[in-house]
Amino acid sequence: MRQSYRDAGLQVRRYQRVPDDHVALMAAFMAELGRRTLIALKAGDKDAAQALLAQQFNFSRDHMANWLPEYAELSLRVKKATLYPQFIQGARALAEADGAFLPEAFAWLDELDSERLATAAAVVAAEENPFAPAEAALEHVTMLTLPGLEDNELAAIAEENTD
């Protein structure tokens, strides 16, 4: 998992103090890869977008889909928890959706010729694009600074923390 983060130029903000496999970190990583994919699509960079989609699919398959469904079911048994089980159910649903959507997105992108790619890039890059509401919501969530959130953040790799 740590290598997946590093391959993307990221690491856990509290490196060596917070486990790399925390579900919030994995969700943040998938969100970052999704953001980068959208940027590549807006730029009309088919190769980069495909590489990012493949990276997302592999990460989801190898590090989320293999344990998250069972963990989500077990979280429902906790009697005193109020929000965490619902968060885990949402994370599980997103991982399942990724497992279905990412191969389809990759196939769609693979079929685009340069003219259709340019059209798709123009639509996504337009101010009133189909992704505008999601982008606005992500921007809003990114601005939140909740206490303890820094424990579950990814950051660019610092030069001194590359071991």
- pLDDT at res. 15: 80
Q: DSSP secondary-structure letter at 151?
A: G
- Under 8 Å between Cβ of 149 and 14: no
Element (H, E) at 3: helix 2-7
- The residue assigned the tokens 């983060």 is 5
- pLDDT at res. 51: 96
Closest CA to 36 of 1, 7, 3, 2: 7
Q: What is the pTM of this model?
A: 0.83
Summarised one tens digit per residue, pLDDT across range 22-39 is 888 898 899 899 989 989
- Under 8 Å between Cβ of 65 and 6: no
Q: How far apart are CA 35 and CA 109, in angstroms?
A: 16
Mean predicted confidence (pLDDT) in 7-30: 87
Summarised one tens digit per residue, pLDDT across range 115-133 is 988 888 888 888 788 878 8
